Structure 1
Amino acid sequence: MSKEVLAVVEIMANEKGVDKEIIFDAIETALATATRRSYDDEIDARVAINRQSGDYRTFRRWEVIADDVYIEDHVGWYIRHMDSVEEDPSKAIGEYIEEEIESIDFGRIGAQTAKQVIIQKVREAERKKVVEVYQKRVGEILTGQVKRIDRGDVILDMGDNVDAMIPRSELVGRETFRMGDRVRGYLQLVEFRPRGPQLIMSRACNEMLIELFKIEVPEIADDLIDIMSAARDVGFRAKIAVRANDPRLDPIGACVGMRGGRVQAVTNELNGERIDIILWDGSDAQFVINAMAPAEVTSIMVDEDKHSMDLAVEDDSLSQAIGKNGQNIRLASELTGWTLNVMTQTSMAEKHEIESKDQVNVFTNNLDVDEEMAEVLVAEGFSTLEEVAYVPAAEMLDIDGFDEDIVAELKQRAKDALLTMAIAEEEKQALAEPEQDLLDLDGMEPDMAKKLAANGVKSQEDLAELGTDEVLDILEIDEERAAALIMAARAPWFE
């Protein structure tokens, strides 16, 4: 029997390409299962196979459990701790006491049982092997052969009984494939499914575009050129931002290739998707200007607080700057990470004039200065009272005509104005009264309604628009009660 065991292990390991240890474990499990069944499952058994000789021994075993644990099934599998002390005092709860028993013949065990256990173990090993192999390849472009189309999802045969799926939402535009076509995709993740591991791939993600350029442009693979960001309107147009790590290199020219060969290869792979190659710049404003190509930006205004930029173009270039269905401005915004607003020069001038007037009025009304000085502050880039109050004095001293006394006075006036406005806001909130529908709301108390009103939540409708966290920031109540108040305020919505 020992030779038969070793022969089975050798054959199964070679046929399935799995480790011999997994086959040994499977046979041990099958023998233990058969042993338990021969005793009508009244005992628990363990089988140990000698890996060199193939000889095996069988042990009946009892798991040590706490004295107060109630056992309903498989009573013969357990022993209470107080009883185990007599057998082996060293055993703790959760450990096993074993006793060798006669082994059953390997050839006489239920063939179907052994087969099922071995197949299950081998299948688990194969799945684990697939996961280990492909988990390391997440982030790569892989190639497979179309096996079938399932409700628009493309199923690829990757070889070695491994399948991958490109969901319909991850295909490029309206591309179609036929059985047997070879398709490339970006491996995003390895998922566990009832039938085994499933490779999920994409052709529509930004990473697919980036990896294709790494394949086509050796300078990128060699780290001479970096792709800083990418944006895609899948199947129609894309933008990538590149920079050279070697000043002697032209990153755009390298990505375009001789007669456009490199970028054309990527375009062909992505079903004709047009690609703009943009020069990345360390200056956010210049990067945005580059990203707006082919439109030319004539002027730009940056709002750091809102992380947005206003871009002005020639009146007859507005449609080109926006692009079809807003495509160009949307891709440029995604590429740079800035919120972009594009307008004509005329509109930009009008907007700038209105904003300047508003800022001038803020300074004249709150700093008690004449219009001329207010215009100087605006011209120097000051737009709020906070900036006047808290920017370093050295920056204001650089303004022509400003000395230390003027700067100190302006900063003090700005701080006084801010304090006055804060006090006025507090008084306004303190005097705020809740509306009757908020007071009548189920579960609402007068002091709670007063606190809500002081924070700008005066009506039932105001409360309905809040989230639980926002209510908890105002009221000292638990999360469940806050949610109940919000749902009560939203009741009219559902009616």
Structure 2
Amino acid sequence: MRAEFLDALEEIVKDKGISKDILYDALEAALKTAYKKNFGSAQNVEIEIDKENGDAKVYAKKTVVEEVENDLLELNIEEARKINPKYEIGDIVRVEVTPKNFGRIAAQTAKQVVLQRIREAEREIVYEEFVNRESEIVTGLVQRVSKSNILVNLGRTEGILPNSEQIQGEIYNQGDRIKSYILEVKKTTKGPQIILSRTHPGLVKRLFELEVPEIHDGIVDIFSIAREPGSRTKIAVYSNDQNVDPVGACVGYKGSRVKAIVDELNGEKIDIVTWNKNIEEFISNSLSPAKVLSVEVNEEEKTAKVIVPDYQLSLAIGKEGQNARLAAKLTNWKIDIKSESQAKAEEVNENITKEESLDDVESENIELID
């Protein structure tokens, strides 16, 4: 342990960003282990490193007693008072016991322990960095595929994109640069495990925050997002400034902003609609691009009956019911969509049923009179 070793520690502090105190604590613990392994584990010792010249000294901690039974742990009162006349029975005395060849043996034994502590400190730094970034977006390079999981290089560490969080149909090639959503950061024995997602609605939210300055600045807010990854997303936005059109801000000049997001999501369709505190208006907007004639809501059951023109019915429902399904997720209301002719037919049937019921009642009254 000499100056060159201290210089090496300084380099580690600079390169790895690890606290010098953490390194010295690790080093002292390692040297204590080395001493006990090579010179006897029965002693109660502590290590002291001179941070100026790198010298390491070993001190045995002994209890002052009247009669010594274990000379490794105890020191006679007379011997103790030769060191300092003020010592009394029960006091702890530090006695230097540094072996002549301690430096060489200690350095050899301590090396792996110090490296291990450095790895642990690095892992802790990475964990602290990423645990505070949960629910954020991160850019990385596809490193390799392992058992259908994608390993993504995030710089100081790797992230895992599990099969369940991958967009169906997306192909990931080594070296591809992708944006992902940090779903969860876990502590494991092998270091921090960073779970990424390409399917989470939060990814779309963060992409809009990156692309739309008005969202980043709080002028435009995102109310809700409904997503079927790889296929289609609906996003409801509103403006805190009456002079700013929220949908226009998100779309951008000639669609440039939303196009950048669609490209990042490999062609996933995105519908941007205006949120409105009037639920009828919001439900109507949520079914975009379909045109809505009327919305009738049941507040208690959170259900809505929507009437659309006949030629708009298939558009309102969407392929395999996707548009209606996403609108229901976006608004958190159950939506029943009818065409204008279906609604009229139902109304006619209801009227006929009512008339038949009245006729039945009148017939029963006549029979009673008779």
TM-score norm. by structure 2 comes to 0.80
Residue from 307, 312, 321 that aligns with 1:312? 307
Separation in 2, partners of 1:122, 1:354: 78
> What does residue 22 of structure 2 align with?
22
Matched residues in 1 for 2:210 and 2:15: separation? 36
Tell me the equivalent position of 1:126: 122
**Which residue of structure 1 lines up, in the alignment, with residue 42 of structure 2?**
42
Q: Which residue of 2 aligns with 1:210?
A: 205
- 1:57·1:103 contact (CA, 8 Å) conserved in 2? yes
Q: CA deviation at 1:119?
A: 0.6
Identity of aligned residues (%): 39
Q: Is the 8 A contact 1:57 1:100 kept in 2?
A: no
CA distance in structure 1 between the aligned counterparts of 2:348 and 2:54, rounded to whole angstroms: 88
Q: Distance in 2 between matches of 1:125 and 1:196?
A: 10
1-structure distance, mates of 2:255, 2:266: 16
Q: Quick check: 1:298 aligned with 2:293?
A: yes
Closer/same/farther in 2, CA of residues 103 and 14 from structure 1, 3 Å limit: farther
**Greater relative CO (CA pairs within 8 A, separation 6+):** 2
Following TM superposition, by how much is the alpha carbon of 1:249 offset from its aligned partner in structure 2, in angstroms?
1.5
Corresponding residue for residue 281 of structure 1: 276
- Structure 1's unaligned 5+ residue stretches are 64-75, 78-84, 89-96, 362-495
307-316 vs 199-208, which deviates more?
307-316
The structure with the greater share of residues assigned to helix is 1
Q: Give me the whole-angstrom Cα distance separating, in 2, the residues matched to 1:7 and 1:19.
A: 15
Shift of 1:254: 1.8
Q: 1:193, 1:62 → 2: CA distance?
A: 40
Match for residue 117 of structure 1? 113
Mark the runs of 5 or more structure 2 residues left unpaired by the alignment. Answer: 64-71, 74-87, 358-370
Show the counterpart of 1:265. 260
- How many angstroms does 1:300 deviate by? 2.2
Q: Is the 8 A contact 1:280 1:290 kept in 2?
A: yes
Contact 2:35–2:106 (CA under 8 A) maintained in structure 1: no
Counterpart Cα distance in 1 of 2:347 and 2:46 = 83
Mark the CA change 1:101 to 1:320 in structure 2 (over 3 Å): closer, same or farther.
same
RMSD over aligned Cα atoms: 3.0
The answer to whether residue 206 in structure 2 is matched with residue 237 in structure 1 is no
Counterpart contact for 1:31–1:109, Cα < 8 Å: no
Q: Give the counterpart letter for 2:31 in structure 1.
A: L
Q: TM-score, normalised by structure 1?
A: 0.61
State the 1:277 CA deviation: 0.7
Structure 1 residues 320 and 33: alpha-carbon distance in aligned structure 2, compared to 1, 3 A threshold:
same
Q: CA deviation at 1:53?
A: 5.1
The 3 A distance-change label for structure 1 pair 14 and 221 is closer
C-alpha distance in structure 2 between counterparts of 1:283 and 1:183, whole Å: 39
- Checking the alignment, whether the CA contact within 8 Å between 1:172 and 1:271 is kept in structure 2 is no
Higher strand share: 2
SS at match of 1:109: helix
C-alpha deviations, 1:55-75, integer Å up to 9, x for none?
A: 444344599xxxxxxxxxxxx
Measured in 2, the distance between the counterparts of 1:318 and 1:219 equals 34
Aligned length: 331
